[in-house]
Structure 1
Amino acid sequence: MENSALLKAIIENAIDGIITIDCKGTIETINPSACKLFEYEPGEVIGNNISMLMPPPDRDQHDGYLHNYHQTGRKSIIGIGREVTGLRKSGEVFPFRLGISEVQFYGRKIYTGFIHDLSREKQAEEKLKEYAFHLEEQVQQRTCLLNETVTALEEAKEKVSKLLEKEMELGQLKSRFVSMASHEFRTPLSAIQLSSILIEKYSGDAISPNISRHTAKIKILVSHLTGVLNDFLSLERLEAGEFKPVLTAFDIVKFSEEITEDMQLIAKQNQQIIYQHTGTSATVNLDQPLLRNAIINLISNAIKYSGENTFIEFNTEITPSMVTICIQDNGIGIPIEDQKHLFEAFFRAHNTGNIAGTGLGLNIVNRYVQLMDGEVKFISNVNQGTSFTLYFKKSHE
């Protein structure tokens, strides 16, 4: 008796609906949760066929399911959870997960259905789909805006190239372009970058692959365009004489390890940046920002012009008379006929193909190094890699 009372109490207070039927589909018991779900009193359903709680076409086919099971013994739904729809007394249709078990009870078969309402889950899914759809629309709008910006920048660059051929005073022309680019492009690019970050943030774990693909593309293009603008701005400041080296003593090993860690994050797949230092001393006396920009530019080139699964060597050495910094890759190399023009502004080797670049990086590196009374040398062979070495006299300490 105690066991029966306990079982009844469990069924009566179960959160999910529980209904039992006989082999003909007649409802024998229904717990309060199931009554609440279907909006019936127990007396309204007990003794009736279970199909009264089903919308078409399940209502018309249910007895056929039972008959087929009794004839063949093949279980198509028993013991297998699945999503179905129920019909409330009010005529409203709602989704629920149904699990059916078969029990032998005093020589006859009883079927028990366990009903878990999915209405809230389905509503949440629909809201999420709607939210994802709106986000997709926003991404497309941002992408269109970015494409317009890219087009405007390409048109501006083309105009600059034509003007460079006609005007003798290159510095004045570049100043105009930099001023225009700084005011017209940097602010919208920052807004686009922020919008893509916010889209990912508000999407959270539910972000769709399409949205993720678009935001990743936006970030890559914005990063590329920002790099172009930074190159032009650096050139302008160099030619205006705004860079004045400030020499300070610092630990070049710690300095280089930080750069290596940062650059490893943007390396290609399985590209490894290997840093080593030679010498008993680690202290140098140079301009940290200028040196950092020069090294980052060289390592960026090594990453860009080398393939996946490659090594980039980054070495520093201090001798009694010299500080040496070397970045070496095994990338596409520089054709011999192009090497004499390598440090010229806007020059790019003819084997760079579709690899993005402004042709300003090495010109800027060379001028940064010269500001610190240093020298840049390189060795390069096509398809065998390139080595850039920066030399600074130890007398800077």
Structure 2
Amino acid sequence: MKSPARASQHLKGIRSSARVVAGENMNGHPPQNDEQHLRELEEVREALHLSEERNRAIVETAVNAIITINERGIIESVNSATVRMFGYAKEEMIGQNVSMLMPSPYREQHDGYLGNYLRTGERKIIGIGRETLAQRKDGTVFPMDLSVGEVKLPRGRIFAGIIRDITDRKELEQQILGISEEAQHRIGQDLHDDLCQQLAAIGCLAKVVLQRLESTRNGESANVAEIVKLITNANTRAREMSRGLVPVVLDSEGLMAALNELVAGTERIFRVSCRFRCDPPVHLYENKTATQLYRIAQEAVGNAIKHSHATRVEIGLALHHGMLQLTIRDNGIGIPDHSPRKGTGMGLYTMGHRAKMLGGQLHVGPDVYGGTVVQCEVPMPESHSQS
């Protein structure tokens, strides 16, 4: 048994703790006796316990994965949805770097991004959110929507990430995009096989008439010659349109060849300087990726000429650390808002959407030399790549 002195000291300790936790009573006065004080302390503890249980239940029953990490990127907690989504047990994730849930090259870049934010405060994901890729325990990679929040605590800070698997949405988007591409392919094929052939036939007949008129020195031969010229130009333009709708052929140099044609057509039609740079060559065997990159370049060049009034455009294609980098620069007046998220037109939105469909990102901003630079970076399809 405790001595009276020690018992009194222990009671004072309880009373002191109770004052700190429970504070004053409802009337704003100190508790009248120790029993009331202890009862209030117990009520506070019970309320805290219920609050913790409620918050834990909310996190555990959430449909989306919820992960908290510390400033070093180490996982501190995960909920049950994270276990179901990634296939790891909680014990396998807690205490490990969160990069274990990412595929290359994001896995190797994560700590650098986190360290850069802690040094500079520049937000790229935190408080913004983005679509990116994740990797399950069995190695399968899937698209996710990631939202990250920051919580500052007296002993540091933690980051809470909410992850939503968007595989179904991406598959639906790919189906819609595939239908669109099929429709464009059909229209392009019809232009080439039907309209272009009819224009060619009309042009041949007009040339025959022109030859007869010229042989008789008829004064109408000049007008017919102009008709022949217009028909020839219309046929050339229709063929260019058909190639634009079916831009990339199924071979390793399809994208480079298509971008070269885009450059040549841009110079011929719009009378601007347009160049394509790809050194060393990039051989791409995956037609879907090639087509989407071509569409981005096509849209960016069109915006540069029509909206920025550029007189010089440069397209660059490179492969760097497993990422395809497509860059379009111009010397135009720029655009008022360089963010594709803020309603600057369907063109920028469509380019950003195409990049996300390929698991990449699109950045639009002012060039250091003036004008605008559009840069798209997407993962190189590993099973279809060779450089």
Q: TM-score, normalised by structure 1?
A: 0.37
Q: Larger Rg: 1 or 2?
A: 1
